[in-house]
Structure 1
Amino acid sequence: MSRLLNVEESPAAAAPAGPSMAAFLALGFRPLYIAGASWALISIALWIFTPQLLGEPMTLVAWHAHEMLWGFIITIAVGFLLTASATWTGFNPLQGKPLAVLCILWCVARIGFLLGGLTGFWIAAAAELAFFLMASIALARVMIKGRSRRNYGLPALILMLGVADLLYLLAVLQGNYVVLMERFDLGLIGMAVVALLIARRVIPFFAMRMVQGLQIPMLARSGHVQMTFSVLALVAGALVQITGTPMTPGSGPHALPLIMAASLFITGLISLGQLLYWKPQAVLRKPMLWILYLGYAFLGIGLLAAAWQFSNLFDPAILSGVLIRSATHVHLIGLAGFCILIIGMLTRTALGHLGRPLALDRSMLAGHWLMVAAVVLRLAALWPSAASLHLLHLAALAWVLSLGLYLWRFVPMLIRPRPDKPAPVSTPKKAAAAPVAQAR
């Protein structure tokens, strides 16, 4: 178990060295955590406060949805997997120049989608697809080399997220908002599969390591059922797109959306059930843990809301407002679920891999509470009222402050070597895994 889940390193007392490009490009989490968090801060500020700067052809809601999911959330997931897989397998998927190339592809995509224009759009799309292809190949290589059979599906999932991205970008050019949001949901569910797979493994492990005497069952059987139904929901969603099955409210129930909804409902229930088995009362005084529990709870609730939305079993003439808005399940899963989990994982895994004490200082704790505030305010803004715009602006401000605090605190650490190890140097590929092996 420790071989699969140990994604932390021992703290050290030595004074930090100066910034080092070799250290910065030593593991995927270092540049991608900075890139993802920075872009999440910038893109929300642009979306809320200066939307007039967004260009064609991907404007307003389409740009915001894409950049939050693929530009931020999935980017952080890729950074985590490129790091954790090094521990799971003993081989570093990407470091040095190849990792720099991956980051450059990511930057080209962000700039191209922001500046607009059809040429910039296609350059950005090509760069982003190359990003996913390169990441999935790197993950597959080390999974096979390290014989990490349990994780063979992860490279395929990353590749599928890239395919969902392509489908979304094609829908942008079609200008069909309904199709656009259906393909966004496909990417959202694909990311939910990845998030469930990661969180179900690491949250109990982190909790048992931090809370003395805490024992949590691994719930392997429920995890397998959870994965089966979440993948079934993803497949049903893909078939909805292939067959053109209508999913808009009032179109009536259809077989594929019902399968998708039922699968998501079961997945969400299992998630909430697992949370109870993880003994949440034991982590209430551990902010580094309860933030992860809270994100996982919202992810389960969001999946139940998505099941309600996709089932089409309600009459929109009777139920209206927030109950039938697609923004409800999108923000429950994407903001309350993914982003609360992300702020916790950004902190916990970075401290572990950087050889720092596993404890939150005041700025880190403030960042956690600000992210929770951003979620509460944004969800409150979903209810139409005279205060909605003000709530939206406050949510954006809390979001910017949360990620700003994270970057202020962690960038100086992420660009420096671990204080207990010298800066990495260029080594042959076979020897490059040594620092990772020492960290386990």
Structure 2
Amino acid sequence: MSHLLNIEEKPATPTPAGPSMAAFLALGFRPLYIAGASWAVISIALWIFAPQLLGQPLSLVAWHAHEMLWGFIITIAIGFLLTASATWTGFNPLQGRPLAVLCILWCIARLGFLFGGLTGFWIATAAELLFFLGAATALARVMIKGRSRRNYGLPALILALGIADCLFLMAALDGNYVLLMERFDLGLIGMAVVALLIARRVIPFFAMRMVQGLKIPMLTRSGHVQMAFSVLALLAGVLVQVTGTPMTPGSGPHLLPLVMAGSLFVTGLISLGQLLYWKPQAVLHKPMLWILYLGYAFIGIGLLFAAWQFSNLFNPALLNGVLVRSATHVHLIGLAGFCILIIGMLTRTALGHLGRPLALDRSMLAGHWLMVAAAVLRLAALWPSAASIHLLHLAATAWILSLGLYLWRFVPMLIRPRPDKPAPVSMPKKAATVQPAQAR
């Protein structure tokens, strides 16, 4: 297990080093963590405090939903996979100029969707699809080269997220809000498949490395069942789009949405059950761990709410409609789930790969708590009341401070070489720390 899941490097005592482009572009997490976190700060600030700056053809809601899922959450996931795959396979998928090109495509997409008008929209769409294609191709190449068979599905999932992105953008261009949200849910579920796959592997590993004497079972069988049902939910969602099956509240239950809902329900239950086997009481004194457990728990809870939403078996007036609004499962999974998990992963994996001690300083811990506060406040704002707008502003402020603290603390490290390794003159394509045979 340690050979398979070791996605960190041994910490070393930091020594001063200047910024280095070679170090900055040595692994995917360095530029993409900075890019994704920076954009998360900027996009939320625009959405909440300066929405008048957001233009067409993407509407306000469409732009916000797109940039949060594809511009931030999935970008961070790709940065993680481009880094972890180097350890899983023994080969670095992207570095140097190819990695720089991928990041430039990402930047073109962000600017095009924000400022470009219709022409910029099409340029941004092309750049974004090339970004996903480039990332998926790079991952597939090293997975095959390193014979990392258990990870062969990851490039396909990244490509599927790119296709869901394209479908979402086409619905946004047509101005079809119902179709837009259905396709957003498709992307959300696809990302949930990726997040569950990654988290189920790394969270127990991180916990056992940090808590002396802690033993956690692999839960391989439940993991396979979890993946099977989550993929079934994703396929059912695709078939809903192909067949045009109605999913709007009040349209009544239909077979495909029921299959989708049932699959998500089972996936969510398995996720919560796995948490119990991971002995959460043993990590309560480790903020670097409980933040990951908390994010995983919210994903499971959010999947249960999504199942309820998609089943169409609810009373729309229930609790003023709050519990059955699409915004509820979207923010439970996306903000309380993915983003709490992300702030923990951004910190833990960056410290490991940068050769730094695996310990939180005050700013890092504050960032964790601020992200939790942002999630709680945003969920509270879903309840219709006079305080909703104030809760929304507080949630946005906590979000900006959380990721702002991360950038303030980590950008100086991400642009410099590891203190125990000088910046390479020419970056080798093969990772030196893990042999391919160990990662199979």
What is the TM-score normalised by the length of structure 1?
A: 0.98
1:80-91 equivalences in 2 (<5 Å): 80-91=80-91
- Mapped pair 1:133 → 2:133: yes
What is the alpha-carbon distance in structure 1 between the residues aligned to residue 276 and residue 219 of structure 2? 11
Equivalent residue, structure 1, for 2:315: 315
Equivalent residue, structure 2, for 1:377: 377
Amino acid corresponding to residue 221 of structure 1 in structure 2 = R
Q: In the TM superposition, what is the alpha-carbon distance from 1:278 to its structure 2 partner?
A: 0.2
What is the alpha-carbon distance in structure 1 between the residues aligned to residue 320 and residue 134 of structure 2? 44
Of 307-316 and 104-113, the range deviating more from structure 2 = 307-316
1:124-166 residue CA offsets vs partner (Å, 9 max, x unmatched): 0000000000000000000000000000000000000000000
1:184-211 residue CA offsets vs partner (Å, 9 max, x unmatched): 0000000000000000000000000000
1:417 and 1:423 in contact (8 A); partners too: yes
Equivalent residue, structure 1, for 2:421: 421
SS for the counterpart of 1:217 is: coil
Q: In the TM superposition, what is the alpha-carbon distance from 1:321 to its structure 2 partner?
A: 2.0
Equivalent residue, structure 2, for 1:3: 3
What is the total number of aligned residue pairs between the two structures?
438
Unaligned segments of structure 2, at least 5 residues: none
Q: In the TM superposition, what is the alpha-carbon distance from 1:16 to its structure 2 partner?
A: 2.8
Equivalent residue, structure 2, for 1:122: 122
Q: In the TM superposition, what is the alpha-carbon distance from 1:437 to its structure 2 partner?
A: 5.4
1:200 and 1:223 in contact (8 A); partners too: yes
Unaligned segments of structure 1, at least 5 residues: none
What is the TM-score normalised by the length of structure 2?
A: 0.98
1:219 and 1:274 in contact (8 A); partners too: yes
Amino acid corresponding to residue 155 of structure 1 in structure 2 = P
Equivalent residue, structure 2, for 1:113: 113
What is the alpha-carbon distance in structure 1 between the residues aligned to residue 374 and residue 318 of structure 2? 31
Equivalent residue, structure 2, for 1:279: 279
2:59 and 2:172 in contact (8 A); partners too: no
2:373 and 2:398 in contact (8 A); partners too: yes
Equivalent residue, structure 1, for 2:32: 32
1:349-377 residue CA offsets vs partner (Å, 9 max, x unmatched): 00000000000000000000000000010
Equivalent residue, structure 2, for 1:162: 162
2:343 and 2:371 in contact (8 A); partners too: yes
What is the alpha-carbon distance in structure 1 between the residues aligned to residue 204 and residue 114 of structure 2? 39
Equivalent residue, structure 2, for 1:207: 207
What is the alpha-carbon distance in structure 1 between the residues aligned to residue 371 and residue 58 of structure 2? 27
Amino acid corresponding to residue 61 of structure 2 in structure 1 = V
Q: In the TM superposition, what is the alpha-carbon distance from 1:435 to its structure 2 partner?
A: 5.4
- CA RMSD in angstroms comes to 1.4
Equivalent residue, structure 1, for 2:53: 53
SS for the counterpart of 1:192 is: helix
**Judging changes above 3 Å, is the alpha-carbon distance between structure 1 residues 142 and 38 closer, same or farther for their aligned structure 2 residues?**
same
Equivalent residue, structure 2, for 1:258: 258
1:58 and 1:116 in contact (8 A); partners too: no
SS for the counterpart of 1:359 is: coil
What is the alpha-carbon distance in structure 1 between the residues aligned to residue 139 and residue 297 of structure 2? 28
What is the alpha-carbon distance in structure 2 between the residues aligned to residue 16 and residue 358 of structure 1? 19
SS for the counterpart of 1:434 is: coil
Amino acid corresponding to residue 16 of structure 1 in structure 2 = P
What is the alpha-carbon distance in structure 1 between the residues aligned to residue 110 and residue 40 of structure 2? 11
**Judging changes above 3 Å, is the alpha-carbon distance between structure 1 residues 315 and 347 closer, same or farther for their aligned structure 2 residues?**
same
Equivalent residue, structure 2, for 1:348: 348
Amino acid corresponding to residue 373 of structure 1 in structure 2 = A
- Mapped pair 1:339 → 2:345: no
Q: In the TM superposition, what is the alpha-carbon distance from 1:12 to its structure 2 partner?
A: 1.0
What is the alpha-carbon distance in structure 1 between the residues aligned to residue 59 and residue 45 of structure 2? 15
Equivalent residue, structure 1, for 2:16: 16
2:371 and 2:399 in contact (8 A); partners too: yes
2:86 and 2:431 in contact (8 A); partners too: yes
2:367 and 2:406 in contact (8 A); partners too: yes
What is the alpha-carbon distance in structure 1 between the residues aligned to residue 76 and residue 317 of structure 2? 40
1:372-391 residue CA offsets vs partner (Å, 9 max, x unmatched): 00001000000000000000
What is the alpha-carbon distance in structure 2 between the residues aligned to residue 38 and residue 335 of structure 1? 16
Equivalent residue, structure 2, for 1:99: 99
**Judging changes above 3 Å, is the alpha-carbon distance between structure 1 residues 340 and 428 closer, same or farther for their aligned structure 2 residues?**
closer
Q: Percent identity among equivalent residues?
A: 87
Equivalent residue, structure 1, for 2:407: 407
Amino acid corresponding to residue 261 of structure 1 in structure 2 = A
Q: In the TM superposition, what is the alpha-carbon distance from 1:14 to its structure 2 partner?
A: 4.2
Q: In the TM superposition, what is the alpha-carbon distance from 1:315 to its structure 2 partner?
A: 3.2
2:102 and 2:131 in contact (8 A); partners too: yes
Q: In the TM superposition, what is the alpha-carbon distance from 1:3 to its structure 2 partner?
A: 2.0
What is the alpha-carbon distance in structure 2 between the residues aligned to residue 435 and residue 112 of structure 1? 39
Equivalent residue, structure 1, for 2:368: 368
Q: In the TM superposition, what is the alpha-carbon distance from 1:36 to its structure 2 partner?
A: 0.2
